[in-house]
Structures are given as structure tokens and as C-alpha cells.
Amino acid sequence: MERMRGMRLGALISAALLCAITSFSPAGAGSDDATTTAVKRYFLAEANARCQLLDGATAMAVTSGYVQARNALIRSTGGMQSLTPYLGQARAAAQSVACDAPQLLNEAAAAANAYRAFATQTRLSLPGAHAEWIGTRAHGTEPGWRLAQYQSNADADLALGLYGTLSDNRFTVMADFHDGEKPYAARLIVRDPQVAQNGLIGRATGSLSDTIPLGFGSGVRTFLASDSQETEAEIKPRVRANLIGVSASGDYVGDQGPVAVKRFDFPSRAWRAIAPLDPREDIVIAFDFRDGTQYARFEVGDFITGLGYVRMPSVYGKSL
């Protein structure tokens, strides 16, 4: 089976039978499908880097699509073992394929057409192992969550992601602690791949702790929030509900409007530190209070794919 899959993938790559992105939806559930999808997208991205067949936005979308397919494979198989052997083949094929090869030109055109259709999508859900990133490009000139992962528990409601307009947003965490206490500082803590080879996987979802999570005592990078303010924002995902606040599932969701929260903005170099991490691992926000620190866990997931979705321009030459 492994040999047959390698022959099939090798034939696809060598013949430049590419499958350009049709959406950012998760790759197929089977590991063979995920491997094939990731290799094809990687090949197209590598071939385009040499041949310059795609405009910048479409090239970014293809690369983001590869990252998502790679992440889906890691989640389904537990690692890169089934993908790594083929990336070298894909890179070599991309370096040798003729830039005017009809099949390559056709697939580059298909990628451009797929991008133009996808860029009009106003909302994107990127499920992870325990949490999801939710992206939105609607109402581009109004401030709001452009990419967010929400965490709610008995002690607090939290949201991490990009907040602002499509053209001007910040990497931000917001928190509403139910006891009314407000932190005076926040820090993002992520694994440093140059020091620690593996990240923490198998986290306790949606909980706060007053001790630093296991695995974050060393081999990490820490980013202090550069700005903080009190504001009003939504820090829970909006649920469709009727006039009395009951959702389709019968749960009472009540008022879903903005609430008073504490907002902390991180420097842009902080989100860049997330890019090389395993999609299954934790990143941690440390909230500093006068009487101690509370630690909240978030999942890396498909943050980079969501970032590409938010940052891509529309087909009309301006943000939607």
C-alpha cells in the first residue's frame, strides 16, 4: 500500500497534474487524501515561486491551503511521517517542470479562478482538535473580530486573535473575568522550536489555572502585550437565536451584544512565532493580577491559514 501510494503521488507530481485550491475546507478524512492534497498544493506553490504564474494573493492562498492540508494530515496521522518523503520529490519536480507546460498553465489558471470565487466568502470556520478559529471578512470597514478563538469557562470568557477592520487589525486577547477583577498585564507564551523540539499536546480545554501549564517552564518565547485598554466587544461566538434569546438547539443564549472587557495588544512578531508550531499544541496567555497570575490555554490549530484568509485582498481590489 505504501509503495502504491508513493507511485501514485510520484506520477501526479512528475506529470504536474495539480489540484489547485477550491476552498480552505479541511482536507479529506483519509490520510492518503490529505497527503495527496498537501503535496499537490506544495508543488504548485513551489512551481509558482520559480515561474511566477500566480498573482500575490492567489499565491498566498495556495500556500495557506498547503499549510491547512498539512495540519489536517498531522491531526489524522500524528505527525509528518507520511508527508515528508514526498515534499522533496515535489520540490524537485517544481524545479524541473517547464513553466510553459500546458498542464501547469491550466492548473495555475484554475487556482486563480478558485481564488476569485473563494475571496467572496465572508466567513470561515477552521476546526481543530479541541477548538476552532473563526474568520470573518464581512463589514470590512467596521471593527470586530477578524479571526478569533473563543474560550469560556466558569471563571472567564476569553477571545484571542485579530481584532479591528480588515485593513487595520491587531493581534489581541480580550478577557472578561466573572469576579470583576481586571489583569494589569498579559503575556503570550509559546514554544521556541529552536530550543524545545516538541510542544504540549492533549490539553485541558477551556480552563484557567494559577500555575503555569506543564511544558511551559522552559524552552519558550514570551511576548509582553505592548498596549492595554478597557473596551466593549463581543468575546463569545454569536449564535443564531430567536427574539427571546433561545437558540435552535433550545439553549438560552440571552443577550449576545458587546460586554466590558480588558484588551491587550501584542506585537506583530508574536503571531509570527506561532507559524512553525504543531497545530495540535498549546499556546498560553498569562494574565497578571496584583495577587497572582492566571494561565489560559489556546490551541495553535489553523491560525496561519486563518491569517491568510483575513489578509487576502478581495477580487474587487479592496477589502470586502
| 209-236 residue pLDDT tens | 999 988 888 899 999 998 899 999 988 8
pLDDT digits (tens, 9 = 90+) for 54-63: 999 899 889 9
Instruction: Indicate whether 251 pLDDT > 70.
Output: no
3-class secondary-structure state, position 315: coil
Instruction: Indicate whether 247 pLDDT > 80.
Output: no
Of the candidate ranges 61-65, 142-146, 268-272, 314-318, the one whose mean pLDDT is the lowest:
314-318
Query: Reading across the β-sheet that carries 208-209, which strands appear in turn?
Result: 208-209, 292-299, 282-289, 185-191, 220-224
Radius of gyration for the alpha carbons in the chain, expressed in angstroms and rounded = 21
293: number of Cβ within 10 Å: 16
- 92 or 78, which is more confident? 92
Q: Looking at residue 292, what is its pLDDT?
A: 95
Q: Looking at residue 138, what is its pLDDT?
A: 85
Q: How far apart are CA 296 and CA 212, in angstroms?
A: 9
Question: If you average pLDDT over residues 126-133, what whole number do you get?
Answer: 90
Please answer whether residues 173 and 264 qualify as being in contact, where contact means their C-beta atoms are separated by less than 8 angstroms: yes
Q: How far apart are CA 172 and CA 263, in angstroms?
A: 7
Residue 14: pLDDT band with limits 50, 70, 90: very low
Q: Looking at residue 3, what is its pLDDT?
A: 42
pLDDT digits (tens, 9 = 90+) for 19-77: 433 333 333 334 457 788 888 889 999 999 999 999 998 998 899 889 999 999 898 88
3-class secondary-structure state, position 275: coil
Residues 6+ apart with CB under 8 A from 82: 31, 35, 73
Question: If you average pLDDT over residues 119-130, what whole number do you get?
Answer: 88
Instruction: Indicate whether 252 pLDDT > 90.
Output: no
Instruction: Indicate whether 159 pLDDT > 50.
Output: yes
Strand segments, DSSP code E, in the chain are 123-127, 132-136, 144-152, 156-164, 169-177, 185-191, 208-209, 220-224, 227-233, 259-266, 282-289, 292-299
